[in-house]
Amino acid sequence: MAATNGPSHIIIEAVRPQLDCGRYRAKAVAGDAVAVEADIYRDGTPELRAVVRYRGPGGTRWSEEPLVHVGNDHWAGTFRPERVGRYQYSIQAWTDYFATWRRDLHKKASAGLDVDLELEEGARLIEARMDSIPASRQKRLKDAIAKLRAPSSRPGPADKPDARVTAALDPKLDELLAKYPDRQGAASSDVFGLTVDRERARFGAWYEFFPRSTGTKTKHGTFKTAAKELRRIADMGFDVVYLPPIHPIGRAFRKGRNNTLDATPDDIGSPWAIGGPEGGHTAIHPDLGTIDDFDDFVSEAERAGLEVCLDFAIQCSPDHPWVTEHPDWFVQRPDGSIQYAENPPKKYQDIYPVNFDTEDQEGLWTELRGVLEFWISHGVKIFRVDNPHTKSFAFWEWVIDELTAKDPDLIFLSEAFTRPKVMYALAKLGFTQSYTYFTWRNTRWDLTEYLTELTQTPVAEFFRPNFFANTPDILHEYLQMGGPPAFKIRFVLASLLSPSYGIYSGYELCENVPVKEGSEEYLNSEKFELRPRDWKKGPNLVGYITRINDIRKKHPALRGFTNLTFHQADKDSVLVFSKSAPEGDGTILAIVNLNPFHWEEATVHLDLDALGVEPGEPFEVHDLITETRYVWNGPSSYVRLDPQEEPAHIFRVQT
């Protein structure tokens, strides 16, 4: 139950959005309408009024938007934060005594009862409000008072309304008094927080690649050679380039090709084994270039319309300077050795995890914040955080809060493939986006259940997904076995179901060979060796990816997430879903054959209301991939999709 300001008969409860009774801030994007709702009621039967009050970053005055009663004591409305930053909002409700009086007067007058005393009560209610009304608006009120106190016209013709009652029920009089409400005895809810981000926090196409693979099979790539790839990536329609760690790599216990324990002198090691004699988390791998070369890379990305995302992995190689400078930041084993990272049965002998239970917590936290501040000073606004669920929750809440308070444009992507509640906790603590289970959701039932959870429950108020179709660590069996059709299918699903999605370099070439049967690791993994590619060889999905990204950017419906509706099909291998644009800019309907091996035909049963189609009216569906058009009539239609030709329809619904 909400707190009240002074004596009040009113109760405000079940305010949404709110996270854990206001412990955390919900999320929104600048310019969006934020839906607010609450249960509001009081003892007795008087009429109520309610508003949502809100103020933006640095604001001292509250703005307001009305809430409307939608039934069963439930109220709803919206407000639109226009700036990026931290907002506050609260619900306020009060008794509208004048509206209550008008309601009861109407009932009594309609029943033919004597209302002389009621009219005098109304005149006094208006008089009591006079001082709160601008002088320029008081004439209407004085005229109304005079009419309410005029001599009764009764008895008179039975079909002639009482002029006094007509004046009392004038809608313009009610509108004027509602504009200057009497809020004596008002109740206010608790004040809740809202983080308002820029649009990239919700919508964007991400491309992951290793700068070191932009040279040759034997020659290490540099930031200068990597910069030559930026135009190719931008031309495919991507918005963010994500780079794995770019720091020096340790020599001790270095992993060889395909994650072998015996590295040769020529093996270059995993970028996640951070740190060497050249430096640690604020140093550049010398083979990539200098910090000036990195700055030039960021500038070139900006010219191409791309943002640079850096990997932030809180771990060290045995050669990292911190190991000798701050040995207390690591877990010491009984034999005096330092505990290396493990995820049984996987072992990472080349990586030391940081011990967040160190007695020098202040020194560790300050150092890690300084690492992020260093890269922010070099133009980085986006960080992909490696395994944040294995680090201190308190640290993440502190550091993200500290940094975004200074720069609300920052974006933090959580790479936490772990239990749902832990993933959701990280989002509440401040992470802007999160990796998801999308890679392992391949059936219609799996996709429908998972997306319903993410879009139609309170999770949607704080958890923003980023659907990566693959990563350097994850090559799902579906892609291994399904060939190019599988790559098309998963790309369509990732890019249309979620406004943010990503692929790892090589996806466009349908790279699908695992290191061994039953593994999700790539053969000849780029994590351990250079992998230069011929971008013109086949099979090649560059044109397909470019087309889908173009569709995403041209159709506002695909910028949303909670605007998702699933439709029915009589085949389990056919998934049907739509997204509608909030401003009436068209609805996108996708029909996808989930079977990469064989054509499927099905009858789809559409929710016409979700598509904005009137029952009984024909409507056109325009396939944005093939440019074909069909006229459909009614909720049921036949489709046939051959994955060897085109596994999906992406229709724009036109009425």
CB neighbour list of residue 336: distance below 8 Å, 6 or more residues apart: none
The answer to whether position 490 is within a domain reads yes
Q: Domain ends where: 558, 591, 610?
A: 558
Q: What is the residue type of 449?
A: E
Among 394, 395, 464, smallest CA distance to 423 is for 464
Which residue's structure tokens are 């370099």?
505
Does one domain contain both 414 and 394? yes
Contact 45, 59 (CB under 8 A): no
Does one domain contain both 145 and 74? no
The answer to whether position 78 is within a domain reads yes
Q: 459 in helix, strand or coil?
A: helix
Distance (Å, whole) CA 648 – CA 642:
9
Positions in the chain short of pLDDT 50: 1-5
CA dist 583 → 33, 555, 557 (Å):
11, 11, 9
Q: What is the pLDDT of residues 638-652, one digit of tens each?
A: 999 999 999 999 999
Does one domain contain both 476 and 519? yes
CA dist 536 → 384, 507, 543 (Å):
29, 13, 11
Six token digits for residue 582: 């909030």
CB neighbour list of residue 53: distance below 8 Å, 6 or more residues apart: 62, 63, 64, 89, 90, 91, 92, 188
CB neighbour list of residue 102: distance below 8 Å, 6 or more residues apart: 122, 168, 169, 174
Q: What is the pLDDT of residue 153?
A: 63
- Residue 461 appears among annotated catalytic residues: no
Which residue's structure tokens are 């305010």?
15
Q: What is the residue type of 315?
A: Q
Does one domain contain both 365 and 433? yes
Q: What is the pLDDT of residue 154?
A: 60
Q: Is the C-alpha dihedral spanning 319, 320, 326, 331 positive or negative?
A: negative
Residue 111 belongs to a domain with what CATH number? 1.20.58.80
> pLDDT averaged over the chain?
95
Residue 506 belongs to a domain with what CATH number? 3.20.20.80
Does one domain contain both 110 and 128? yes
Q: What is the pLDDT of residue 159?
A: 60
Distance (Å, whole) CA 625 – CA 589:
12
Boundaries of domain holding 585: 559-654
> To 10 degrees, what angle do helices 171-179 and 97-110 make?
160
The answer to whether position 497 is within a domain reads yes
Does one domain contain both 490 and 466? yes
Does one domain contain both 175 and 60? no
Q: Domain ends where: 518, 534, 558?
A: 558
CB neighbour list of residue 536: distance below 8 Å, 6 or more residues apart: none
Does one domain contain both 505 and 625? no
Q: 572 in helix, strand or coil?
A: coil
The answer to whether position 354 is within a domain reads no
Distance (Å, whole) CA 361 – CA 354:
11
Q: 443 in helix, strand or coil?
A: coil
The answer to whether position 334 is within a domain reads no
Residue 647 belongs to a domain with what CATH number? 2.60.40.1180
Q: How many CB atoms lie within 10 A of CB 462?
A: 22
Residue 50 belongs to a domain with what CATH number? 2.60.40.10
Six token digits for residue 7: 């004596």
Q: What is the pLDDT of residue 8?
A: 78
Does one domain contain both 26 and 106? no
Among 402, 396, 398, 436, smallest CA distance to 420 is for 436
* Annotated active-site residue in 367, 386, 526, 646: 386
Looking only at the bridges linking them, the beta strands covering 500-504 and 467-468 are parallel
Does one domain contain both 417 and 466? yes
Q: Domain ends where: 129, 161, 196?
A: 196
The answer to whether position 474 is within a domain reads yes
The answer to whether position 144 is within a domain reads yes
Distance (Å, whole) CA 211 – CA 526:
11
CB neighbour list of residue 312: distance below 8 Å, 6 or more residues apart: 371, 372, 383, 384, 385, 386
Quickly list H helices, 82-170: 97-110, 116-129, 138-148, 163-168
Q: What is the pLDDT of residues 152-181, one digit of tens each?
A: 766 555 567 789 999 999 999 999 999 999
* Annotated active-site residue in 197, 319, 415, 600: 415
Does one domain contain both 424 and 519? yes
Does one domain contain both 160 and 191? no
CB neighbour list of residue 558: distance below 8 Å, 6 or more residues apart: 496, 499, 551, 552, 579, 588
State the virtual CA torsion across 494, 602, 641, 633 in degrees, nearest 10. -90
Distance (Å, whole) CA 281 – CA 295:
16
* 3-class SS letters over 190-218: CCEEEEEECHHHCCEEEEECCHHHHCCCC
Six token digits for residue 621: 């569906």
Number of compact structural domains in the chain: 4
Among 396, 413, 394, 400, smallest CA distance to 466 is for 413
Distance (Å, whole) CA 626 – CA 647:
11
Among 531, 535, 537, smallest CA distance to 218 is for 531
Contact 236, 542 (CB under 8 A): yes
The answer to whether position 326 is within a domain reads no
Distance (Å, whole) CA 470 – CA 502:
8
- Residue 415 appears among annotated catalytic residues: yes
Phi/psi at 53 (nearest 5 deg)?
Answer: -105, 140
